[in-house]
Every structure is written in C-alpha cells, then in structure tokens.
Amino acid sequence: MSQSNRIAGGQIDRSKTLRFHFDGLPYLGHPGDTLASALLANGVRLMGRSFKYHRPRGPISAGSEEPNALVELRAGARQEPNTRATVAELFDGLTAQSQNRWPSLKFDALAINDRFNSFFTAGFYYKTFMWPASFWEKVYEPIIRRAAGLGSLSKLEDPDTYDKGFLHCDILIIGAGPSGPSAALTAGRAGARVILADEDFRMGGRLNAETFALGDQSGADWATAAVAELSTMPNVRLLNRTTVVGAFDHGIYGAVERVSDHLPEPEAGKPRQTFWRIYSKRAILAGGATERPIAFENNDRPGIMLAGSLRAYANRWGVAVGDRAAIFTNNDDGLRTAVDLQAKGVDVVAVIDSREGGDLLSGIRHLRGAEVIDSDGRLGLSAITVRQANGKTETLKVNALGVSGGWNPNVNITSHHRSRPIWREDIAAFVPGSGEIANLLVAGAAGGTLSTHGALVTGDEMARLALDSLGLTAKAANLPKAEDAPVRITPMWYVEGSSRAWIDPQNDVTVKDIKLAHQENFTSVEHLKRYTTLGMATDQGKTGNVLGLAVMAGLTGKTIPETGTTIYRPPYTPVALGALGGRGRGREFKPFRLTPSHKWAEEQGAVFVEVGYWMRTQWVPKAAETEWRQSVDREVLATRKSVGICDVTTLGKIDIQGTDAGAFLDKVYANTFSTLAVGKCRYGLMLREDGMVFDDGTTARMGQHEYVMTTTTANAVTVFRHLEFCRQVLWPDMDVQLISTTEAWAQFSVAGPNARKLLQKVVDQDISDAAFPYMGAGNITVGGLRARLFRISFSGELAYEIAVPTRYGDAMIRKLMEAGAEFDAVVYGTEALGVMRIEKGHVAGNELNGTSTALNMGLGKMVSRKKDSIGMLLSQREGMTQADGLRLVGVKPVNPADALKAGSHFLKTGAAATAQNDDGWLTSLVYSPHLGHYIALGYLKNGTDRIGETMRAVNLLAGTDTPVEIVSPHFIDPEGERLRA
Amino acid sequence: MRYSGFRILKEALTGHKGWTPQWRDPAPQASYDYIIVGGGGHGLATAYYLAKEFKQARIAVLEKGYLGGGNVGRNTTIIRSNYLLDGNEPFYEFSLKLWEGLEQDFNYNAMVSQRGIINLIHTDAARDAATRRGNAMIMNGADAELLTKEQVKVLYPFLNFDNNRFPIKGALMQRRGGTVRHDAVAWGYARGADSHGVDLIQNCEVTGMRIENGKILGVETSKGFIGAKKVGVAVAGSSSKVMAHAGMRLPMESHVLQAFVSEGLKPVIDGVMTFGAGHFYVSQSDKGGLVFGGDIDGYNSYAQRGNLPVIEDVIEGGMALMPMIGRARLLRAWGGIMDMSMDGSPIIDKTHIDGLYFNGGWCYGGFKATPASGWCFAHLLAKDEPHVTAKAYRFDRFLKGLMIDEKGQGAQPNLH
Amino acid sequence: MIINHPILGPRDAQEFVYLGDASLIHRPDGMTASIETFHDYTYLRDNPAGLHRELWYHEQGDRSWLVVTRNTVTHEITSVELARDVARAEGRSK
C-alpha cells in the first residue's frame, strides 16, 4: 500500500488520498495523479501485454500517445477497454484490470508466442495456414480470432448518456502548452471570441512537466496565471479535458469533452462526454510535440520509457520510475532529464549519448559516442548493456531508462485534409506543410519551434495573424522571458543488432520486420504500414511511425522525405463511439411522427406500426380477438358492409397555386391536369426522368389556379423536393407556388356503403351523389370549421377523404365515430387498408418499387405523348416497352386453403427453380375475408396475356411450392359500381 | 517462389534470409499487348487472370501510386452475393465462388472467412423484399436463409431488440458471406500476376491516350509513352478522369465513402451485419477491430475524406443497433472514392474506340466483385466478347432502358 | 461543410440535400429531343476533379435550389447562387 516510488514535488494534492485497485490489489494515490503515475508511484511498472508476442508492457509515455499501458477501466456495464492509464485521471474507488493476458498479467500463457517469434514475422499469415485448404476457416482462423483483440467490451448496454453540442468562435486554439495560452491571451485581450481546448485535465502542457522558469515564475505557475486571466474574459471559453480530434471542411472541428470521466460515475443529469462541433473562423494548432524513441534490442521492457516522460513523472507527479536510472539520447533534450532526475535525488547511473564529442554534463557520468545495445529483466527492466565509443561493453544495473530520439511536432491534425508534412533536417522531424487546411495556423512545437520562448512568440504571432485577417486589433504583448535553447540533435534511429528491436511496441513491429518488408519489396510507406501493421495500433504510430520510416529509408538508401510518410487520419486520439452517437439511441434514434388520431387510437388499444418516421394504426383489436387476423378481417368486413374510418394524414399533401399551376402539373404528371374541371379530382401518375414510376396519388382542382396534390406517405418529402426543382430550376418563369400542407391537415378516409350517410351528419353542405359526385372535390365546412372533402376511394367502396385543420384532428375522429355509432362504424388500420386496396387491385409500396414502369403496372395508357412531361420520353426506350415484359397480375391459390408468401417467385408447372425459369414474383399478399382465401398481386412476365394460367408460387426459403391461378388484379367490383354509388 | 509449410519452417530456422520480393519493380517496356490502367484490386486481378487463365502475355499494369492503394486498400472487406437482379446476381455469385478457391489458386492467404452476413429486417415490407431476394439468390445458385427474430437473437444476443426505434423482426442470412483481408487480395494478385510475367509498374500515372482513326495506340504516362494493342481501364473513382483522355463522358459520379475501425477488442461480432434502418454495417476483423461504415457523404468528391454529419450518422446507427459498443472507441476514419454509376451497377464493356476497354461503376460493391471483375474483364480483353455473367454490364443499357437498379433509385448516383 | 446561402448567409451543409451536376438545368424538350439527347442529359456527367457546379436544395431551410461552385478535390466553395437566377440567365423560362 506504500507509494514507494513517490518523491517530493509535483502538482498533486498530497492532502487527499485516493484509493484504487488494479488487478484486484489496492493502492493509494492523490488528486492530480493519472492511473499510470499512481501505479508507478506504487512501484508498479508492468501494466499490460503486447498484441502479438504478449511481451510485458509498461508505460513508455506520460500522455495520450501511449501505446503500451492499456487497461480495462471500471467494471460491469461501464467497463472501458484499451484505456490509456497515462491519461486516465485517478478518482477515489477507481478499479482497473489488465487485458489481453491469461490467466494473469505476470503469467500469461500466450507469452508462448514470444518463443515462436521466428515464425510470427511480418506477413507470416499471408504465407501460411493454407494447408489443407479447409483448415483455414475451420481450425486456424477460429484460433486466431479467439486470441485477437486487446480489451473486452462488457456486452452490456452503456448506461451513460452522451451529449452533442455546437460552438462558434473567431479563433479556436488547440492545445494549452506555452504557445496556446500565449495565443489565447493575445486573441482574448483583443476581444476575439476564443476557444482554448486542451486534452489534459490541467492546462499547461509540457510546462507542467518542466522545471523552466517563465520570467520570474515557474512554467506551471505561468500557465495557471494565464488560465486565470483567460477565465475572467467573457469572450474566451476554456475547455480542458477536451481533445480536438479532427479538422473537417470550412473551419469545422470535432472535439470530445470528457465531462465525467474523472468521476466514479456522471453526476445526475450530466453526460459522460460531450461531442462538440466547433465552427471557427480561424484555428491555431498549438498541439506541441511528441518524443520518439531509439530502437535497440529488447527496448520494450517496462521501465524503459521516453526520456521526457520519465522527467514528467518526476516533475509533475513526484514519481521516480526507478531509483537507478540511465538516459539514452541523441539530442540535448535527453540531457535535461538526467539533470532533472538527479536534482530530484534519483541516482542517474549514466547518460548514454550517441553523439560523439561535445560538452559533458557535470556531476553525471556522460558517455559520448555510446549506445545501449540490450536490456535485461523478466517483467521489468533490471539492467542495460552499453557499448561505449571505444567498443567496450558494460552492463549497468538500472530499473529506469529514459530514451530520447528527438521530438516529432504533432502535425497530425494538419494532415487531416490529406496534405503531407515536410521534413526539416535541422530538427530531424516532419513539420506541417503550409496552408493545406484553410484558415489553420500552427504555433509552437507543433510547427517545429521547439523552445519555450519560440512557443510563446509564435503563439502570439499566429494570434496576431488571425486577428488581423478578422479585422481585429491586437494589443501589445508582454511575453515573459523563457528558455530558448537550440535543437541539437544528431539523428540516430536504431542500434544494429541480431535480435529484436521494437518500433511499434503494441503491435510488436521490430526492425527485423521492416527489414523483411524491404526484402520482399514492401518498400512504399503504405505497403510497409499495411504489411507489418506498423502504426496501426491504438496510438496510430504517434511514437513509432517516423522511426519505422527512417529505418526503411536507411534500407533503401533514400532520404526520409523521399521515402515519404503515411497520412494521419482523424481522430487524433480514439473517441468513444457513444460520444459520436450522442442521444440518438434506442427509441430516440429517430423522431416519431404521430397522426392526429393517435391519442384517440391509443385509448382504443390500437396496435401501431412504423411507417417511415410515422406511427400508424395497424389494427384496433376488440376484447375477444386473440389473433391479429381476427381484428383485420372484422375491420375489412365491417367497412365493406357499412362504413370504416382510417387516418390518412400521412399521405403527402401539397398546395399548388398560380396561373401556370395546370401547365405545371402537366409537366410533372404523365397524364393531363390542365383540363381537369374545377371541383374534380383525378388520379395522377408521376414518373422520374428515367421513365420509371416515381409516385402516384389523387390531385384535385379546387379553383381555376389552385390544385391540391396528394402523394404517397413514403414519397411526401421527395415529391415536394422534385416539384421545387421543376419550378425553380427547369421552368423558373412559370407562375406557380408550392407549399407542403401534410402537417396542416388531418385527413380521414370514410369508406363503405354508409360513408355518405355518416358524413352527411357531420358536414354542413349537401353531399348527395348529385351535389358531390364521384371524384368530386371541394371546400366545405364542418360545424362552421373550414374543411376539404374529396370523393375518392382506395378501398373500392363509396368513399370520401375529409380534411380538417390538424389541431381539430382529434376532435374530428371522435365526432366521426360518434356519428358513425348508428352504422357500427369501425376504425381500420393499415392492414385492413392493405387488404382492401389489394382486393381492388391498387398498386402501393411493394409495386411502386422504383423499377416499375406505367406499362408494368397496367397503366401505360396514362402516359400522355401529346405533351412533354418528366419521364415521358425515356419511358419509351426499347427495354422498357417490351411486349413480354412484367405486368401486374392478380394471384390466387388453386386450392383456397393454401397459404401464400409475398416474395415467392412464379414458375411454370414442372419448371426447375432456376433463374432462367423465373417468371416474376408475388409482390403483395393478403387474406381476403370476402373471398375466403389468400389473394395477391404480382409482376409476371407477359402477365396480361396469361390470365387464367395455372402456375406455381415458389418460396425456396421456406420450401413451399404452391399452385396458383393468374387472375385479373381487380378482385372486387371490377366495374367500379360501388365507387359511384 | 511458392509458399509452403516446408518453406515457412525453413525460413523461420534460417533467419528469413531466403524470402524474395513478392513482385519485381520493372521499368516499362516500349509496348505491350495489353495495358491495364489501375493497379488496384480489379486491375491486378484482371492482369492475373489474363495471364494465368486466358494465357495472354506481354501485359503491364500501370499504377499512379502504389499497388493496392485505391479502394482495395480502404474498404470494409465484406464479400457476399446477396443481390436481387438477374443482371447482378450471377456475377456476384461467380465472384463468391472465385473467392472460395482464391487462396489455393494464387497461393497466398487472403484470409477469406465465410462467417455469414445478415441483413436485418424491420418491417413486413422489408421481409417481403428479403423473401423475393433470397429466392432470387437461391435460383442463381447462391445460398440464402430467412431468420426469425429468435434466430437472430441466438447469433447476436446483444442487439437492441426491445428498445429500438425500428424493431428487429428477422434477417436475411447468407452463410457464405464474410470478410477477406483486403490488402492481401491486392498483394496476392500482384504476386501472382508478377509470377506469370506481368510487369507491375508503380508510380506511373496515365496522362493521356494516343488514339488515331478510332483506334488506341497506347498511353502517355508520367514515365513516357507506352504502346499497347489493347488498353483496359480499371480505375474506380478515377474513371471519369482517365476516360476523359479518350474524350468520353461516363454515366457516373465520384463520391466519397467513409469507413471506420475501432480499437482492437476481444471477439464480440462473429459475422457481418447490416442495419438497413440506420445505414450501418459492421464486422470484426481478425485483429479485433470493429470495421464499419454507412452511407456515402453524398456530394461529388475526389478528396478521399469526408465530413462529420455522416460520421455521426453512421455511429448513431451503430449505437441504436448495439448500445453495448458505446465504450469502444473509434480509432480511425478514412475515405475512398466510389465510382457511383447511374443505376448502381457496374460497366464491363468495350468502348467506341477500338482497343479501349472499360471496367468501372462499382459503387459500394467493388471489393466483393474483385475476382469476377478481373476474370470477366480479362475474358472481354482476351476474347472481345463478354463473359456470360457480365453480359448486362454494358454502356448502352441506359440508352436502351435496361438499367440494373437494385435500389430502384433511378439516375441519381448518390442514392445507390 | 458550410454553404453561404445567398439569402440566408452561412449554413451547415447538413441542412441541404445534394442533387448533382448543374447541367441538369438544361433539360431538353421531350417533344423534340431524341432519346439519345435525353440519355446524355439524364445519364452522362463530366464528373470533374476540380471546379464543379452543382445543385443543392435547402430542405431544412427556405426550400431554395442553389447552384454551388465547389472544388471536388479541396471542397472549397467559391460561389453560391440561386438556381432560379442561374436557370433564367442560362435561358430557361417556362
């Protein structure tokens, strides 16, 4: 329980102690710790296992670039796999367990893979597991899949909520090290609307990890003061725990704020995380730099980490990773770690500096021209082997080794638009290409300016540039004095050796793998990545990519810029899927649209069905009815016998007005509407430009220049869009205006022999057959309330559709039912509607499938060739007018007791079930309570000429093969006498 | 070099010194009998089958970047033959059968894995459509099953069955559907083609076509003019750009399709699943990442990257379907350029220019089509007549009104 | 993406629905055109890598059809016009 490796100093609150568990063992830490810093403070270096060889892994970093120290954080439904311990903020009661090991972290059975590493080289899988052929899927792959992956999902529904939000600003500043706050102060003081976002819970970036002074303050204190000043500015929004994860078009950035991840669970009503879409006029990337290692044999043991991270643990968290440390560096920054560690009382055994000549550190054994060539230690570092300039090798007992191969500017976001970074020889690193993302500027280390002074200056400069371009005036800056050391680096990428030197420690990609890729001609960087999996781990190669590239460059004899670089893709760091999903889950996935009679129907115990976003009444069961068919049959029979009512509000309704309204309809409908008499309706057929049927519905002429169109429920939106296109783009001078009134009118179908009697009780006008004949339409009133009445029928019965303003829809259904009581009126749902339309032979969704012509539907004569209309010409193409093409037919079982299945295909008697013999399919099927058997519609090749033929409806999925007779699609009242009654 | 168990053992014991390059990097010759433009999956497969099955020689593949760098290297790795229409289903079933024998054929483990694909059903009308489709598949020699909700529950108990905006009512299953390690497909074909003498020329962009008297004589490239008797173009999203060199306008648009992978996870999803109500499909790779995608962004683009609305829409779909993935993390999002045709189906056809052939318009379906696309294009190039399964993939089908429109969306590429 | 609507100012592209190439403005007359001409209009596209004039519809807004000039390689938008104005200027009437 003791924090054996805790040393003095750091930005942790020692006045409070936090308890936590890792792999079931209890530990203590302090507020300000990460899980990694707290475990290291407790002397725990082993935190994970690598992907392929299951080698022991400890953290190599102190930040979000961490590839190794991945754990399953929390438990139960909140279990988070692959959580980087280096950024997981410690809280009281935290639990975490190691992953990708069995049975335990210290003894992992699959570490046997490491013994067979000579087999598991890059590309191994592609060359093997092929013999015998059947074994890949049956034997090899299942074993590989079982071993795959890192952490586990709980398989339980995520109990937390996630929010999404939109933010707007003049200047988005990404990163709050020295350059970010410097830019934010300049921009904020000038009055710009600023957002400063940083992934860390504590702003300050590297300043928190360094011992530099800024003016007369420590770096951390300067950052604290800067943040304090910024927090007083109403025009500045500070977002800590917020990672800007991607740069999208036109100044839009995605960012994830970890609102509650530092708490045991979110506070009531608070989300776990918020995904922000940030709209910025200008952005400044101030994302700093990431250190990279030098590869040498067995450089992957816990205790070996990036030198700057070793320093960060000491300075920021008061943790000595080991009591005997060494440093391996090719640049001056590595020396800082040695100095800082020694100042903290750590025994710095040696600094192994690959550069020859130059000054030596005082008071520390500083070996120039030396290399670390190997390490030892089963579950953590215990010793390193050093080869000095004179060739002499020496073993040093150390339990911490800091490695610095230089610093890579975090160019990541600048390549999200696929521009490639450019190589800068003087700092041996890639820096952003210029100007590829519009209005994105780069400051500080992210742009290759690696000194603190440079960061402050470039932050201020970029803010000035941004302000200037926005027409804002910057005030004089007052930058503190800060270190301004030059970058002194002699590139050195890996130490040649015969064993394995890791480049990507999570995916176990070693120098050997890169050599093999080169040997097999996978030399393009993309091939290298894909063949070896370099950079494809959860860190996306933040520490390893440049190193791997440099090794390949060395092998091919090309320079690094000639060798190229792979492109970083969003997100910058992995983002919880929950955050990107936001609130759109479960029942909230898409909106519900409710019909005006929904409340009433609910009261009646109606069963509802999803129709697009609408919920429609499917049927309304009565108490005694146990099977859905009983309800539907009753609704159909009652309607045909007396009267039934159906809410048809979901049909699209479009008011079309203007002196050219009739001419306009002639353009968009295949048939003619300009000749329609005022006060009458007509069935309209609308084609797409490619000649296929787009939509159908009735359109009424309410006045000389006034029409009301109805569309199908499914196409209400797309038809309206199409009409607007025709009106604005194709015929811009037509005097025609459109408005969608789908939601303005509650519309009910009243159908059946008693429909008129019922309605006459409700409406104020005479609607006798003489006054309101078949296909009549008009404005009427219902108890003085304006309403619309259309005498149209989908069911084949005497029928009307009556529309009242939507807010009266609930009252209307109640009034209709009350008036209908004496006729035993029923409400019928979509099932009964479907039965009646099929009995009548009307096409609907399953026939209006986007690949059917008017000819296919038996409506070919409706396409007028006397006028130009959308789709008229292309509907005449030879492939669409074949005499033996598909035609709409009716279908009934030869044996009335046989059931049928929609989607069955038509085959001739005796024909084998092959595609060549396929004559069409059965589109829609219902049970007709009148006829006492199933009836169906279908598309059949040359169907019109095959009425009376006996065929088979075959459903191979269910193994059924049913004799059917092809009949006319009009099963009831083919002469239409009922309609005109 | 042939890969074998013995070779693996020998190399492991001798430090892997004996592995040779999987393909050469030859300089282009002055002329070839066949030039295939495009070193992606389809172009490499075409060259491979042209050499191996159709016994042709003097073949080059010209690739403007690196082999396998197009859509074969940036897709969601799904294979299936669950198409509806007669113009498509025989072709995709032919492709699936080629997938089934591919690894033995080209001696490269592309990890063809037939763990099954299900298309979820949410409405009665969707079940009718699935029934029609399933029957069409079986009648074309493919396999199909209609699963009940309970059967889906056994396979994927963690789906959101009970609190879903669009309830799951069943699924259409094709057990022979699955996934393939996409990069390995490109490499396997490249290695196979190279071993049959095909010159694979990388970093060689076609910048023009030399056409005289209605006949193609060769192509201008970044490495100079290369003569050819026949030129086959298989460049997917770049189709319009390349065919413009021949003065042709195509019935297609280029659109960006984004795809996504999560961090590596222990196995949770065995097969492939599509969620039609939410524009989401997903599988889990052999490495453990959830590989998923949804709709195209919807606007013409050559940028190989997309925007947030579609990213959020796709992941909303995923969360609606499987609320247990909320704590998994998105690792990487990328984009590929789709050659979206006017009816959602491809073209494998001669052009009006003698010796110039075209293969494109694959929309989302290009990866699963790779073997058959290569085979059929090679057939057309070698014999000047279409393969029996690709007869419908003609340019003139739009003029004749013989569109192959699986979705019924008409002449609007971004809806297919 | 952000589309700078000529009447409403900058709006997120998510409010819009995309149709395609602005060549769709030039619909031939079905009474006089040949099927070939109509085929070219309906099915063939330049599909350029670079500047592209294209039709967008402000569905979650004022229902304007717009002609947006956008670079298909960079996604940069250089002009946004009301499609009705463009159509009239290019000779469309009734």
Q: Do B171 and B126 belong to one domain? A: yes
Work out the percent of chain C whose per-residue pLDDT is above 70.
Answer: 100
Q: Do A313 and A439 belong to one domain? A: no
Measured between beta carbons, which residues in chain C are less than 8 angstroms from residue A721?
A: 17, 57, 59
Q: Are B234 and B46 in contact (CB under 8 A)?
A: yes
Contact at CB, C18 and B250, closer than 8 angstroms? no
Q: Chain C within 8 Å of B254 (Cβ-Cβ)?
A: yes
Q: Do A4 and A146 belong to one domain? A: yes
Which of the listed residues B310, B341, B372 is the one where a domain comes to its end?
Answer: B341
Give the C-alpha separation, A280 to A605, whole Å: 51
Mean pLDDT value across residues C55-83: 98
Mutate to test the interface with A, among B266, B297, B304 (most CBs of A within 10 A): B266
B21-63 pLDDT, tens digit each: 999 999 999 999 999 999 999 999 999 999 999 999 999 999 9
**Hey, what domains does chain C have and what are their CATH numbers?**
2-89 (3.30.2270.10)
Q: Do B172 and B67 belong to one domain? A: no
**B positions 119-148 inside 8 Å of A (CB):** 122-123, 125, 127-136, 138-140, 144-146
A286-333 pLDDT, tens digit each: 999 999 999 999 999 999 999 999 999 999 999 999 999 999 999 999
Q: Are A310 and A322 in contact (CB under 8 A)?
A: no
Which of the listed residues A128, A156, A184 is the one where a domain comes to its end?
Answer: A156
Q: How far is B216 from chain A (nearest CA, A)?
A: 31
Mean pLDDT value across residues C64-68: 98
Rg (CA), chain C: 14
Q: Do A140 and A18 belong to one domain? A: yes
Domain assignment present for residue B231? The answer is: yes
Give the C-alpha separation, B12 to B245, whole Å: 49
Q: Do B337 and B198 belong to one domain? A: no
Structure tokens belonging to residue A477? 């800056």
Contact at CB, A877 and C2, closer than 8 angstroms? no
- A128: nearest CB among B8, B188, B328: B8
Cα B179 to chain centroid, rounded:
12
Mean pLDDT of chain B: 96
Domain assignment present for residue B85? The answer is: no
Q: Do A793 and A760 belong to one domain? A: yes
Q: Do A606 and A463 belong to one domain? A: no
Assign B397 to helix, strand or coil: helix
Give the C-alpha separation, C48 to B238, whole Å: 10
Question: What secondary structure does DSSP assign to A5-70, as a single string?
Answer: TB-S-SS--TTS-EEEEETTEEEEE-TT-BHHHHHHHTT----EE-SSS--EE--S-SSTT-SS-E
Q: Do A3 and A64 belong to one domain? A: yes
Q: What CATH number is associated with residue A81?
A: 3.10.20.440
Q: Are B113 and B286 in contact (CB under 8 A)?
A: yes
Q: What CATH number is associated with residue A980?
A: 2.40.30.110
Q: Do B269 and B337 belong to one domain? A: yes
Residue of chain B whose alpha carbon sits nearest to that of C74: B303
Mean pLDDT value across residues B268-281: 93
Domain assignment present for residue B105? The answer is: no
Question: What secondary structure does DSSP assign to A824-841, as a single string?
Answer: T-EE--HHHHHHHHHHHT
Q: Do B313 and B402 belong to one domain? A: no
pLDDT along chain A (981 residues), means of 10: 90 97 98 98 98 96 98 97 98 97 93 89 87 84 87 96 98 98 98 98 97 95 98 98 98 98 97 98 98 98 98 98 98 98 97 96 97 97 98 98 98 93 96 88 97 98 98 94 96 94 97 97 94 95 95 95 88 98 93 97 97 97 95 98 98 98 98 98 98 98 98 97 98 98 97 98 97 97 98 96 98 98 98 97 93 96 97 98 96 97 97 97 97 97 97 98 97 90 85
List all residues 6 or more positions away from B99 whose beta carbon is below 8 Å from its beta carbon: B79, B112, B180, B368, B371
Contact at CB, A729 and C1, closer than 8 angstroms? no
**What's the number of CA atoms in the CB half-sphere (13 Å) around residue A968?**
7
Region of residue A93 (phi > 0: left; psi between -120 and 50: alpha; otherwise: beta): left
Domain assignment present for residue A488? The answer is: no
Q: Do A810 and A756 belong to one domain? A: yes
Taking one residue from B and the other from C, the number of pairs with CB-CB distance under 8 angstroms is 69
Among A133-137, A879-883, C8-12, C71-75, the range scoring the smallest mean pLDDT is A133-137
Domain assignment present for residue B238? The answer is: yes
Q: What CATH number is associated with residue A509?
A: 1.10.10.1100
Q: Do A359 and A443 belong to one domain? A: no
pLDDT at position A386 is: 98
Q: How far is C58 from chain A (nearest CA, A)?
A: 9
Range of the domain at B196: 20-77+183-251+343-415
Q: What CATH number is associated with residue A195?
A: 3.50.50.60
**What's the number of CA atoms in the CB half-sphere (13 Å) around residue A657?**
7
B320-367 pLDDT, tens digit each: 999 999 999 999 999 999 999 999 999 999 999 999 999 999 998 899
Assign A523 to helix, strand or coil: coil
B99-133 pLDDT, tens digit each: 999 999 999 999 999 999 999 999 999 999 999 99
Domain assignment present for residue A43? The answer is: yes
pLDDT at position A211 is: 96
**What angle (nearest 5°) sits at the alpha carbon of residue A741, between those of residues A735 and A743?**
160
Which of the listed residues A156, A175, A195 is the one where a domain comes to its end?
Answer: A156
Q: Chain B within 8 Å of A145 (Cβ-Cβ)?
A: yes
Contact at CB, A153 and B268, closer than 8 angstroms? yes
Structure tokens belonging to residue A87? 């950024």
Domain assignment present for residue A479? The answer is: no
Q: Do B314 and B166 belong to one domain? A: yes
Neighbours of chain A (3+ CB pairs under 8 A): B, C
Q: Do A669 and A619 belong to one domain? A: no
φ and ψ of A18, to 5 deg: -110, 140
Buried b (16+ CB within 10 A) or exposed e, A82-107: bbbbbbbbbbeebbbbbbbbeeebee
Domain assignment present for residue B387? The answer is: yes
Which of the listed residues B277, B308, B341 is the one where a domain comes to its end?
Answer: B341
Q: Are A189 and A236 in contact (CB under 8 A)?
A: no
Number of domains chain A contains: 7
Range of the domain at A563: 493-571
Which of the listed residues A404, A424, A442 is the one where a domain comes to its end?
Answer: A404
Q: Do A277 and A415 belong to one domain? A: yes
Q: Do B159 and B212 belong to one domain? A: no
Assign A639 to helix, strand or coil: helix
pLDDT at position A142 is: 87
Q: Do B163 and B190 belong to one domain? A: no
Residue B230 predicted with pLDDT over 70: yes
Q: Do B140 and B267 belong to one domain? A: yes
Q: Do B199 and B62 belong to one domain? A: yes
According to DSSP, the residues that pair with A275 across neighbouring strands are A164, A256
pLDDT at position A130 is: 81
Number of domains chain B contains: 2
Measured between beta carbons, which residues in chain C are less than 8 angstroms from residue A663?
A: 94
Q: Do B208 and B229 belong to one domain? A: yes
Measured between beta carbons, which residues in chain C are less than 8 angstroms from residue B303?
A: 72-75
**C positions 14-33 inside 8 Å of A (CB):** 17, 19, 24-25, 27, 29-31, 33
Domain assignment present for residue A804? The answer is: yes
pLDDT at position B69 is: 93
Question: What secondary structure does DSSP assign to A920-958, as a single string?
Answer: EEEEEEEEETTTTEEEEEEEEETGGGGTT-EEEEEETTT
Residue owning tokens 């033959």: B81
Q: Do A87 and A136 belong to one domain? A: yes
Which of the listed residues B321, B341, B361 is the one where a domain comes to its end?
Answer: B341
Q: Do B333 and B263 belong to one domain? A: yes
Domain assignment present for residue B223? The answer is: yes
Residue of chain A whose alpha carbon sits nearest to that of C36: A874
pTM of the model: 0.97
Q: How far is A537 from chain B (nearest CA, A)?
A: 8
Q: Chain A within 8 Å of B307 (Cβ-Cβ)?
A: yes
Give the C-alpha separation, A973 to A977, whole Å: 7
According to DSSP, the residues that pair with A925 across neighbouring strands are A936
